[in-house]
């Protein structure tokens, strides 16, 4: 599974790279999260809390899945 978290606004044009940055061309199992704002705001600005929340949820989900497999 490949997970992409990206800013809604970016330097790369969606027409050039696709909404998933081409991940679907190399993996059937992928998920894309789009966070409002540009790269700076989704990493360290006003929408960074949303990015952190997504990452925390993914870690918790991964941890819970690995516990269930044991």
Q: What is the pLDDT along the chain (70 residues), one digit of tens a residue?
A: 899 999 998 766 777 777 888 899 999 999 999 999 998 999 999 999 999 999 999 999 888 776 666 5
pLDDT of residue 2: 94
Domain count, the chain: 1
pLDDT of residue 54: 97
What's the domain range around 11? Answer: 2-69
39/60 Cα distance (integer angstroms): 24
How many other CB atoms are found less than 10 A from the CB of residue 37?
A: 19
pLDDT of residue 62: 86
Give residues with Cβ within 8 angstroms of 26, minimum separation 6.
2
């Amino acid at each position: 599974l490949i997970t992409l978290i990206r800013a809604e606004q970016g330097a790369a044009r969606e027409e050039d790279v696709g909404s998933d940055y081409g991940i679907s061309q190399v993996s059937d199992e992928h998920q894309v999260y789009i966070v409002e704002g540009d790269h700076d705001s989704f990493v360290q600005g006003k929408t960074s809390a949303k990015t952190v929340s997504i990452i925390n949820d993914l870690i918790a989900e991964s941890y819970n899945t690995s516990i269930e497999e044991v």
